[in-house]
Structure 1
Amino acid sequence: MARQELARFLRERRAGLRPRDVGLPDGVPRRTPGLRREELAELAHMSVDYYVRLEQARGPRPSARILDGLAGALRLSPAERDHLFRLAGAAAPPGAGPVRSVRPHVARMLERLPETAAIVTDAAYGLVAFNPLAQAVFGGDLGRGTTNLARRRFLGEGRMYGSSSAEEFGPIVVARLRRAADRYPHDPGLAAQLARLRAGSAEFRELWEDRPVHAPGHRTKTVDHPAVGRLHLNCDVLLVPEDDQEVVLITADPGTPSARALRHLAHVPQ
């Protein structure tokens, strides 16, 4: 039964791909939709005969290398990759490292939140996206593309407007970085960051040994803004599980001076 389910999944995914989806010319019209078996086998770095046997539920149990090749050739999302491994009766190994780019639909969501400041962080707390109001609220070097909230918190790297939540944020950062270290044990960028944090912050080392546990949720913070004064803000997290990223939505209670200040900042040209 498992072989048949794997075969059906492969056939359906192959039929849903167009040549231009994988960088191939569209060429002449095709009798059947999707990629040819020969094209997919080449993209997955395997023989055509082996791939045909997988689609016909006749092949041997594929190895992790074969499954990774298929996942890449079929342009599977991380969740779909995990599903492929489950169908093959194998445990999906973790991805190589944190996803450090934001999906277009997530970026577009940020643009549709005119009076909500929003940022997206990867699993290592690198800032991968933000909207104009977030830049206006937090200022500093937010827009330079190098901001990492973990290094800012423990090493003082970068500049942003002062916030009241630094003490509470420390255990949250360490809990998430511990999860990232478990998921991406071979990522050199993450390993280098953890080494810098350990070397540069006694507080980080102590928290790391404490093994804090924290789930994303609601927090409040106060930001001292040089233009509009003190802002009392709510921070709520939305997860992007397929990329192990978090979208943080920053708002103010309706009708408060902070809400009016956010509205003002949203309409100030950046």
Structure 2
Amino acid sequence: MNRQELAGFLRGRRERIRPADVGLPAGPRRRTPGLRREEVAQLAFISTEYYTRLEQARAPHPSREVLAQLARALRLSDAERDHLHHLAGTPPAPPPGPSREVRQSIVDLLNRLPDAAAVVVSATYEVIAWNPLAAALLEDFSALPRRDRNLVRRHFLAGSPLYGASDADTFARNAAQHLRAVAARYPADPEVTSLVADLLAGSEEFACLWAAHEVAARPVLCRTFDHPQVGPIAVHCDVLDIKDSDQRVFLYTATPGTPAAEALRLLSVIGTQRMDVPG
């Protein structure tokens, strides 16, 4: 526990919060910037004496519960919350489960890539954001219930390669290795444990891959999708990690001037419409 650094950090975070930010009146006689110590203590449900001792670097080791209450009272970001725990000598607990919230800047990025089919997947391979070209190339995810947007569930339990992909074996191996690491990061998350249990019970292939205990997935640089309307489309596959939310962006692009690029251009025009239905 670094008492001096912890004291300075708490004081700095307290002084940046305006009373109005937490629903308190500013008052005519307020002389200190930000909140008063007693106000932070009240918001954190701890005694003013104990909080004062924390800021004076005289307090005993705070519990995880107290740290969580302080993080909430001081409106700390995820990075600041983790820093608070490290200063207190208590490494932060892992998040309860994979995040499904996609930052607006990432959604905006997807929509600024008209020549790329792009999806965001959670740590468990659930598709949680996509752009129009991805919906045209793969499927209209908005028409699916949440359970059916999980790519590993679809691949292992549907009995056929997902979207007619040419690298089904590689995808299966990478997915099992990735989920091994995810299960270790979120050991108490019921959705993760339920997904793994369903895959083990319903897929002999997954059970064999899971038993290997491998966690180092290999990158996939190229992939061919067998699209029901325009046929095979060979694309480059690039993956961007969003580390802070444990998500990934899958980008599918085609070499300019190739039949695949022309197929993607056609899909960008027709979208998710069926080509075999008369207008």
TM-score tier (shorter): 0.7 to 0.9
Cα contact 2:152–2:175 (8 A) shared by 1? yes
Cα contact 2:181–2:215 (8 A) shared by 1? no
- Deviation of the 1:70 alpha carbon: 2.7
Alignment partner, residue 60 of structure 1:
60
Q: Secondary structure at the match of 1:232?
A: strand
**What aligned pairs does 1:5-44 form with structure 2 within 5 A after superposition?**
5-17=5-17, 24-25=22-23, 28=26, 34-44=34-44
- Deviation of the 1:257 alpha carbon: 1.7
Higher mean displacement: 178-187 or 247-256: 247-256
- Deviation of the 1:174 alpha carbon: 1.2
Alignment partner, residue 4 of structure 1:
4
Q: Are residue 211 (structure 1) and residue 203 (structure 2) matched?
A: no
Q: Deviations over 1:183-223 (max 9, x none)?
A: 11111111111111111111111111101232474431101
Distance 2:35 2:114 in 1: 41
Letter in 1 for 2:69: G
Q: Secondary structure at the match of 1:173?
A: helix
Cα contact 2:155–2:161 (8 A) shared by 1? no
> Structure 1 residues 224, 69: CA separation in 2 closer, same or farther (over 3 Å shift)?
same
Q: Secondary structure at the match of 1:161?
A: helix
Q: Are residue 258 (structure 1) and residue 264 (structure 2) matched?
A: no
Letter in 2 for 1:233: V
Unaligned runs of 5+ in 2: 273-279
Distance 2:20 2:210 in 1: 46
> Structure 1 residues 257, 122: CA separation in 2 closer, same or farther (over 3 Å shift)?
same
Higher mean displacement: 76-85 or 126-135: 76-85
- Deviation of the 1:260 alpha carbon: 2.4
Letter in 1 for 2:154: R
Q: Deviations over 1:41-65 (max 9, x none)?
A: 3443333332232233222221222
Letter in 1 for 2:192: L
Distance 1:143 1:223 in 2: 20
Unaligned runs of 5+ in 1: none
Cα contact 2:117–2:131 (8 A) shared by 1? yes
Cα contact 1:98–1:244 (8 A) shared by 2? yes
Alignment partner, residue 247 of structure 2:
245
After superposition, the CA RMSD in angstroms is 2.8
Q: Secondary structure at the match of 2:62?
A: coil
Compute the TM-score of the two structures, normalised by the length of structure 2. 0.83
1:174 aligned to 173, 176, 199, which one? Answer: 176
> Structure 1 residues 217, 159: CA separation in 2 closer, same or farther (over 3 Å shift)?
closer
**What aligned pairs does 1:132-151 form with structure 2 within 5 A after superposition?**
132-139=132-139, 141=141, 143-146=143-146, 147-151=149-153
Q: Are residue 84 (structure 1) and residue 90 (structure 2) matched?
A: no
Distance 1:19 1:99 in 2: 31
**What aligned pairs does 1:67-106 form with structure 2 within 5 A after superposition?**
67-106=67-106
Cα contact 2:173–2:217 (8 A) shared by 1? no
Number of residue-to-residue matches in the alignment: 268
Distance 2:190 2:229 in 1: 40
Letter in 1 for 2:176: V
- Deviation of the 1:16 alpha carbon: 4.0
Higher mean displacement: 131-140 or 253-262: 253-262
- Deviation of the 1:18 alpha carbon: 5.2
> Structure 1 residues 80, 252: CA separation in 2 closer, same or farther (over 3 Å shift)?
farther
Compute the TM-score of the two structures, normalised by the length of structure 1. 0.86
> Structure 1 residues 155, 85: CA separation in 2 closer, same or farther (over 3 Å shift)?
same
